[in-house]
Amino acid sequence: MSFFFRAASRQRPLPQEIARSLKDSLVALDTKTGAKALEDAEKNILTLRHTLAGDGEVEPNQEQVLQIALEICKEGVLSLFVQNLPSLGWEARKDLVHCWCILLRQKVDESYCCVQYIENHFDLLDFLVVCYKNLEVALNCGNMLRECIKYPTLAKYILESSSFELFFQYVELSNFDIASDALNTFKDLLTKHEDAVSEFLSSHYEQFFGLYTKLLSSTNYVTRRQSVKFLSEFLLEAPNAQIMKRYILEVHYLNIMMGLLKDSSKNIRICAFHIFKVTSFSFTLESFICLPFQWLHTRSCLAAWVGLAVVFNPS
């Protein structure tokens, strides 16, 4: 007899019930006051997590997980997740992020239903980016964004949105944890989908590198070092070959690299030198001749460039 009671106690609510309860409790956060509304919302989020990921006693049912994903999209719960994230407590936010990541990965009939939902509600991505300004939820939003960035359409939207420029501010925030998290998201945006990134850089070249130059010239050592290191990495991506050649041929950016070669930090000097080394392999005699004459106006600059070219590309 006791076995049947235990089995009954572990029985999960139906997917429709879970989605409806979540929606009602999250909506109530905007219409009610007091701890009861928050308690109900957080309890329902915990129920969702146990249903999606198991609770140590009962393993998740994949068919039920897929049905929950569909119901959550149908009820618009993903929007409520994002909008109410700042209102939740620390543990509930952690549970919500875990659920978010699981839900986005659910594939129903060859399509990711939750990703499709976000494609129809791109404002959710803008909200998550802006929430980096909120110290309480910044790291939660970072995790949610990086899960979104795994999908090309969502990453492409963020790259081309006005919100993307905020990352150039976030990576210089005084809060080290948030700045580091923002940098990780920034890197994912520029490395996860090579073709989309190459297309973005080609069409937003001046705007992007104008902002990136400020990071390379930052008074913050960590920002400066991370920026030059990342630049040397992502210019190496095969789809960015033409971007790399264009970048290194421009006087302004060459001067910045020359300045970094004289930086007080050995690590920064090495990264800057690596950029010169890499680009020298791609240079032909024709591209060398195309170097703007004003950059070669001093004997020292010419000697530096020729020396690098000879050492790393004898041909």
Architecture in CATH of 1-119: Alpha Horseshoe (1.25)
Neighbours of 210 (CB within 10 A): 12
pLDDT digits (tens, 9 = 90+) for 118-144: 999 999 999 999 999 999 999 999 999
The pLDDT of residue 233: 85
Asked if 48 and 99 count as a contact pair (C-beta separation under 8 A), the reply is yes
- Classify domain 193-315 at the CATH class level: mainly alpha
- Quick check: do 1-119 and 193-315 share a fold? yes
Q: What is the mean pLDDT of residues 11-24?
A: 91
* pLDDT band (50, 70, 90) for residue 307: low
> What is the residue extent of each domain of the chain?
1-119, 122-192, 193-315
Q: What is the mean pLDDT of residues 192-201?
A: 91
pLDDT digits (tens, 9 = 90+) for 68-112: 999 999 999 999 999 999 999 999 999 999 999 999 999 988 899
The pLDDT of residue 246: 85
pLDDT digits (tens, 9 = 90+) for 26-59: 999 877 666 888 999 999 999 999 999 988 788 8
Indicate the residue type of 289. Answer: I
